[in-house]
Amino acid sequence: MKLAIVVVEDEPEVRDAVLGDLAPFADTVRIEPAEDVDDALEVVDEIDADGDVVALVLADHRLPGRSGVDMLVEMAGDERTADARKVLVTGQADQADTIRAVNEAGLDHYIAKPWRAARLQEVVRAQLTDFVLEAGLDPLAHLRALDAARALEAITKIGRASCRERV
């Protein structure tokens, strides 16, 4: 099972820039682009059918048809994506949209456009780490994409607890 990141952005140049910034994760994590909400939901179907898990959704707010916030709210109610970490990467969400994303979709982070590649990678690494630890997955299987210090600390705690149980 691989962790998957869904990148939802309708502007090809921006989508390509996000995908380029996520390249360091590509050996460990499945990265799937989508250009709108319907495309993103099809990608989720494919990820699920392949036995992988949506760990993170990076979504623009202004999309053709339904908004990114509408999609994140819908994903919060879908068992395949409810636990996924949700990040808005946008320059156009107003305060009401952002509040709705936090309250109804469980928004985990907001990144304003334009972003810095290093900051995006830092946020992605932190969000993937949160997902793995909260889901109770083995961090070692995904360590190259995670915050190594936090993941190893969690492994150490698990090891200590296991040792105490044996005593």
Which candidate, 151, 145, 150, 155, places its Cα nearest to that of 56?
A: 145
Name which of 25-29, 80-84, 147-151 the model is least confident about.
Answer: 147-151
Beta bridge partners, 3, equal 53
- Residue 113 is predicted with a pLDDT of 86
- Residue 167 is predicted with a pLDDT of 46
pLDDT higher at 99 or 127: 127
Contact 40, 71 (CB under 8 A): yes
Q: What is the pTM of this model?
A: 0.89
Contact 134, 83 (CB under 8 A): yes
- Residue 61 is predicted with a pLDDT of 84
pLDDT tens per residue, range 13-23: 999 999 999 99
Range with the largest mean pLDDT of 63-67, 117-121, 158-162 = 117-121
Question: What average pLDDT does the structure give for the chain?
Answer: 89
Mean pLDDT, to the nearest integer, of 134-148?
93
Q: How far apart are CA 50 and CA 69, in angstroms?
A: 26
Retrieve residue 8's tokens: 């939802």
